[in-house]
């Protein structure tokens, strides 16, 4: 990650910049990120696809693609973009769809890239959970594991032999972890 701004900017200023590439706004500082790798892309889109199919079938809300901005804090602004996310139907905004979502998703998914540090991943998970995200999944293509983080609970580590189930943010959702990491 590379920090590019010298003076703090706001979420609204970031929106006005248009397509400047992958970035997040970390307490007023614009942080640029390199494009994701192939494994990262496959895993992120698979998770989003399986979530979207279930959510749409049951009319539960919205599943959002990578790079969708969530305005987590203000003054200075914190805008994060998980690799996939879910927002319950009762929380989907009625208007202002062209802005960043005001708050956090109910489910945030982060996919580990080779250049991500454990500290960076932990910081993302902590931000999501501290601001009200019900669950944060961390998928690791290198180890083919998925960690489920929830407030007040020990993280749950799933392997390709396990299934995701009992998700409070998306009741009834079940997914074999092997489908996430299946090689083309």
Whole-number pLDDT of residue 22: 85
* pTM across the whole model: 0.91
Whole-number pLDDT of residue 5: 47
Q: Over 60: is that where the pLDDT of 48 sits?
A: yes
What confidence category does residue 184 fall into, taking pLDDT thresholds of 50, 70 and 90?
confident
Pick the CATH number of 36-71+80-181 from 3.90.1570.10, 1.20.1730.10, 1.10.287.40, 3.40.640.10: 3.90.1570.10
**C-beta separation of 177 from 159 below 8 A:** yes
Largest CA distance in the chain: 48
What's the CA gap between 8 and 26, in Å, rounded? Answer: 9
Paired sense of beta strands 175-176 and 163-164, if any: antiparallel
pLDDT tens track for 76-126: 999 999 999 999 999 998 876 788 999 999 999 999 998 899 999 999 999
What confidence category does residue 166 fall into, taking pLDDT thresholds of 50, 70 and 90?
very high
Residue-averaged pLDDT of the chain: 92
Taking the CA atoms of 23, 78, 138 and 107 in sequence, report the sign of the dihedral they define: negative
136: helix, coil or strand? strand
What's the CA gap between 166 and 156, in Å, rounded? Answer: 12
Taking the CA atoms of 176, 36, 48 and 167 in sequence, report the sign of the dihedral they define: positive
Structure letter (DSSP) for residue 7: S
What confidence category does residue 33 fall into, taking pLDDT thresholds of 50, 70 and 90?
confident
Distances (CA, A) of 141 to 9, 132, 177, 178, 180: 34, 26, 11, 11, 9
Which residue ranges make up each domain of the chain? 36-71+80-181
């Amino acid at each position: 990650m590379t920090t590019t701004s010298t003076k703090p900017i706001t979420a609204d200023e970031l929106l006005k910049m248009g397509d400047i590439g992958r970035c997040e706004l970390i307490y007023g500082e614009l942080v640029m990120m390199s494009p994701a790798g192939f494994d990262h892309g496959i895993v992120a889109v698979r998770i989003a696809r399986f979530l979207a199919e279930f959510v749409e079938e049951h009319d539960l809300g919205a599943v959002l693609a990578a790079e969708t901005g969530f305005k987590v804090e203000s003054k200075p602004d914190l805008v994060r973009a998980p690799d996939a996310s879910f927002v319950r139907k009762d929380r989907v905004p009625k208007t202002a769809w062209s802005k960043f979502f005001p708050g956090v998703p109910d489910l945030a998914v982060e996919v580990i890239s080779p250049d991500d540090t454990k500290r960076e991943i932990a910081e993302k998970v902590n931000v999501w959970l501290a601001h009200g995200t019900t669950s944060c999944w961390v998928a690791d293509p290198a180890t083919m594991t998925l960690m489920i983080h929830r407030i007040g609970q020990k993280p749950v580590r799933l392997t390709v032999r396990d299934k995701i189930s009992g998700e409070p943010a998306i009741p009834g959702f079940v997914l074999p972890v092997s489908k996430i990491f299946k090689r083309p």
